Amino acid sequence: MNKIQAKISGVSGYVPDYVLTNHELEQLVDTTDEWISTRTGIKERRILKGEGQGTSVIGIESVKQLLEKTNTNPVDIDLLICATTTPDYQFPATANLIADAIGAKNAFGYDLQAACSGFIFALATGSQYIETGKYKKVVVVGADKMSSIIDYEDRSTCVIFGDGGGAVLLEPTQEDTGIIDSILRSDGAGAKHLHMKAGGSSRPANHATIDAREHFVYQEGSVVFKFAVTQMAAVAKEIMENNQLEGNDITYLVPHQANKRIIDATARTMGISNDKVMLNIDKYGNTTNGTIPLCLWNYEQKLKRDDKLILAAFGGGFTWGSIYLKWAYNS
């Protein structure tokens, strides 16, 4: 009998209605549409507005849509993992808030924090539960409300990030499809280049941390860029080599959407042409854990059973990784 693998049997996405354009950012900070477009590829991003609206709102909308699309009864979900860097609270986990709101009464849930690589880490984690044979339905959410930790006075970060996310349903299959391989990496030495200085246990919130604007993303952009461009391409190339894949074998590269220049360099290293690269950075910017599920959701109609996808991401931590999967269904 073939071994059990985890297949993606549905994907969903959600972005808030409010569109923050480059032109609106020109009014907030010293920047231009031209700079943002040419340096990052971003034209606009979505912002979740309203009192008490956290990342769980994005997760709940995504999972509701996923259950409807896949005709899944919420009580049948075994596990819900939420990859997020902007949880609603330090505790409890955003996964639990989502599970409660959608009626997943029999599921256990937890959050996974690996910054921009979080969705890839969570997808690899979720697939392991399925492969044991014990779990039949695992929901993996990737969602962030980055606007809650962005300083709209800092032009080097506020132009990049946006809010949004998506979810996938994992189920077992014994056919040659689903998640085939993953490579996950992290290096805490990179923490100093991309982090949030306060609000955690080492530096709890107080008046001084707020006055010093330490509850926002701190990023040394060009340092992170150099690591991202090298490591994302290298890990994607490594997973291709491990699975005897050439550029022509790949149907789509599904890259984390941090910067169009990083994506282009990754595709070049992999020998993949531009038409085989999933892109939505122009519309949504960098939604951190949301970028990869949002890409899958946007391109779902174009995907066919047995299409070979390479997912790749790089993020704070540093963290990076890649997944090779075969798409399991025709839309």
Q: How many Cβ atoms are within 10 Å of 302's Cβ, its own excluded? A: 11
Which among 12-20, 58-66, 255-263, 304-312 is the span making contact with ligand UT7, rule CB under 6 A? 255-263
Least CB distance from residue 222 to ligand UT7, whole Å?
4
What the block records as the tokens of 177 is 């499809």
* 330 counts as catalytic: no
User: Is residue 297 involved in binding ligand UT7 (CB under 6 A)?
Assistant: no
User: Is residue 31 involved in binding ligand UT7 (CB under 6 A)?
Assistant: yes
Could you tell me where the DSSP H helices lie in 163-311? 207-211, 221-242, 260-270, 281-284, 291-299
Which among 172-180, 217-225, 233-241, 304-312 is the span making contact with ligand UT7, rule CB under 6 A? 217-225
* 215 counts as catalytic: no
* 274 counts as catalytic: no
Closer by beta carbon to ligand UT7, 104 or else 150 = 150
Distance between CA atoms of residues 113 and 153, nearest Å: 26
User: Is residue 221 involved in binding ligand UT7 (CB under 6 A)?
Assistant: yes
What is the maximal distance between C-alpha atoms in the chain? 62
Distance between CA atoms of residues 330 and 251, nearest Å: 14
Residue of 207, 203, 139, 205 lying closest to 168 (CA atoms): 139
Shortest Cβ contact with ligand UT7: which residue? 221
N residues, the chain: 331
Residue in 97, 143, 146, 258 binding ligand UT7, rule: CB under 6 A: 258
Residue of 29, 58, 24 lying closest to 44 (CA atoms): 24
Least CB distance from residue 144 to ligand UT7, whole Å?
11
Question: Which residues of this protein are in contact with ligand UT7, per CB under 6 A?
Answer: 31, 35-36, 39-40, 116, 155-156, 159-160, 221-222, 224-225, 228, 258-259, 262, 286, 314-315
Active site members:
116, 256, 286
